[in-house]
Structure 1
């Protein structure tokens, strides 16, 4: 093996001559890096730009209530499609699932444009339906690719690439919004310029064809020569039976509260529309992404730190995430109580702008750290990408249901935001013990023994080296 291939394997060596040959003759568009860029690019163009609009608060609308109701519909549908996305992906293949998962986003953006420009409401709801269906399939396939394609010893690194792309969507989108909404006319509260949405529609239309560049898992060529393990069921009936079995696993059930709590804070959009002018919201939507990227980089670096065992990495990272949330939410409550009394409307030139912006920055920082940790921990549970699709779909579905309820809760104007803030705080508190229990009971070897053929290394995590079955 060439020295650069040996370094790229990050300490995981191939187990036979065929693996060695594969690692030396890899085709660039079959590599894990290329596929990480594909999944990242689709995430950048579709949900990434969706998040850019969301980061404006209520999709850039003047009033948050219609958009929050539409988003509740998006995430309700997304929850069901995420749940069944694993079986669908295992039957039609991940590239086509990703393609279908990208086509609904531009319709949603077109609905926001029609509402902004002409006051049209029905297209917002139609867009919410198409986006919800697409998003469910997207998240089910994206999670499996981002977690299942890379070599186990480099999951944190590749997950960070994926998240950099997906955060790049809001970053570029935020720059576009800021460029179109920065003059003195945008100092007050209101809605963004309608032209903003046309740019987003055009960019999101590119996502679907890019998705077709994704390699099927059986054709992916890892640097260490190991194969992605595929053990799909032979029929939809068998897939749904396997899904039901996975849904009743104790370790998956223990993680449900944290997936609900992690994504329940959709009050941040209301917080922006209540207390910031249009151009201040545009600046927040742009700058806050740097904090998100920093959060992702910090925890991903730790999760791939080979001098510490997997168990210690996961455990200490959980403690770090808990501390981040305690700081973010205590500070958030303090500022919210202050704003309940004073009802400010900050522009970026105002002296009080930073303290309100810092609330949003801390919420995003803590949430990103938790998201990275959750998906890294989930990926440790199996080497079988078909099973990983089910796990990812189950938990993404639950987080989608959480966001649907949260957006529904925030479709009303609550005095001082106390009700949604209290709901999120309670959920976070309740989720700590079962999450800690899931970590305490987890064992790297036990998670893989008896299920698939793989070698397990406590220092680098499970290493997939053979493929057990083709897709039926």
Structure 2
């Protein structure tokens, strides 16, 4: 570090630059561009590959880690009951998972900023393979406790993984690219669930009843383990340079004291974020209803596998449309935020209105007496389309929430804390709704609470969306929660 590198007066740590206009900034074509293989642009025939230290390269690594870990977990969860005919053990494990997830996620941003994104993401991937192994064990031993323990450990691991993922996805791209980066990640991540859904579909192609086979769980274990290893190929954020020469805002190796203090300071300097907390809570609340009260309750084993595949495939479509729409150059960022709000509100009413039309035809009490729907049955197309709409809706909701958070800041440290808040509160909602399912709450009550939370959370968030989103986040505003404004201004003047 040179003598004139700016440092934080509070932490004594170096502060990196942020997006700003600077005609002298280095680019990959200029002589001032850093040397080293991680910054070298390569050709593959007619294609120009991004350099390894570019935001898009790092995002792709993170996306494929999530493709292999939570993507496969989603494929397993999408079967309903974790692939078991009786959802009780999966419900209990999921409650443990999201309870520890919610607890750890609030501090995951602090942990991520302290130990680094690579270590955080790799450790986070470990718990997924153990979770799949616990269901394989349960198939043979009926060890309920091991499945619950694996779920609790996965909650810790997942909190760390999703915090690191959120920080990278929201802070690495430039402001005008955030929607596309979010959609690219979400599409690749959900492609993992699509391909993962092929594992149980092939393994259970002739099975209409019973638990999924051992091959399903073994396949998931291998793929999830590979994801944890892939995370080790990430670079630390201080090495990332955008193609315009700007760096990611990151404080290197902060102290635990400064990080824990930053958790509180974020709320003090950006209290508007509290208005997003109900949207965070609602963002996974509907999974219990969709997976267990809908897919598990009404379809045969093999049809559940097919439904799950098409559910996650619909998420790819939803993420692509929403992400690129939020980055359109035809509208200002403020207008995109407002139009996005109206769109999400209308989609919520439309999709869940269709869901009510289907739900009113059965209850938890009489569902066992109703024949389960198979893909060969007449009339299967309507319920399948509804489940695909549920998947489309999930991606639209998640993409919009991430984009709103990314529009509030470009600072990876602050966004790691935002991501921790998001995943923690989201997981609290999931823990509650899966516990409700475990307690056999009537399906219509679960449905009603889901819709009420979704619509209510949009209304609560509307003041932030309509009045807080700006066209650009200035560096001084972005870093004032750590008293680093003066240092950033000096840095920009020096450059």
TM-score (norm 1): 0.89
Q: Partner of 2:177 in structure 1?
A: 154
Q: Partner of 2:375 in structure 1?
A: 348
Choose 425-434 or 340-349, whichever is displaced more. Answer: 340-349
CA distance in 2, matches of 1:217, 1:468: 18
1:123 to 142, 146, 150: 146
The aligned runs of 1:166-181 (5 Å cut-off) are 166-181=189-204
Q: Which portions of structure 1, spanning 4 or more consecutive aligned residues, are displaced by more than 4 angstroms?
A: 11-14, 19-25, 465-469
Q: Partner of 1:258 in structure 2?
A: 279
1:385 to 408, 412, 436: 412
Unaligned runs of 5+ in 1: 1-10, 455-464
1:443: how far off? 3.6
1:39: how far off? 0.2
Query: Are residues 12 and 447 of structure 1, via their aligned partners in 2, closer, same or farther at CA, if it must alter by over 3 Å?
Result: closer
1:466: how far off? 9.2
1:143: how far off? 0.2
Q: Partner of 2:8 in structure 1?
A: none
1:269 to 286, 291, 298: 291
Q: Is the 8 A contact 2:348 2:455 kept in 1?
A: no
CA distance in 2, matches of 1:264, 1:440: 25
Query: Are residues 338 and 237 of structure 1, via their aligned partners in 2, closer, same or farther at CA, if it must alter by over 3 Å?
Result: same
1:337: how far off? 0.6
Matched, 1:442 2:468: yes
1:401 to 406, 428, 431: 428
1:350: how far off? 0.7
The aligned runs of 1:156-305 (5 Å cut-off) are 156-183=179-206, 186-188=207-209, 190-231=210-251, 234-248=254-268, 249-265=270-286, 266-270=288-292, 271-305=294-328
Q: Is the 8 A contact 1:229 1:468 kept in 2?
A: no
CA distance in 2, matches of 1:446, 1:161: 22
Matched, 1:67 2:67: no
Query: Are residues 97 and 235 of structure 1, via their aligned partners in 2, closer, same or farther at CA, if it must alter by over 3 Å?
Result: same
CA distance in 2, matches of 1:167, 1:57: 17
1:23: how far off? 5.8
TM-score (norm 2): 0.85
Q: Is the 8 A contact 1:70 1:128 kept in 2?
A: yes
Q: Is the 8 A contact 2:101 2:427 kept in 1?
A: yes
How many residues are aligned here?
445
1:48: how far off? 0.5
Query: Are residues 446 and 204 of structure 1, via their aligned partners in 2, closer, same or farther at CA, if it must alter by over 3 Å?
Result: closer
Matched, 1:370 2:370: no
CA distance in 2, matches of 1:109, 1:161: 26
1:177-225: CA deviation from partner (whole Å, max 9, x where unpaired): 1111111xx123x211121100110111111221111111110121111
CA distance in 1, matches of 2:427, 2:441: 22
1:365-397: CA deviation from partner (whole Å, max 9, x where unpaired): 112101101101101111211111111111221
Q: Partner of 1:16 in structure 2?
A: 24
Choose 23-32 or 144-153, whichever is displaced more. Answer: 23-32
2:105 to 72, 77, 82: 82
1:98: how far off? 0.8
Unaligned runs of 5+ in 2: 1-18, 41-50, 481-487
SS at match of 1:386: helix
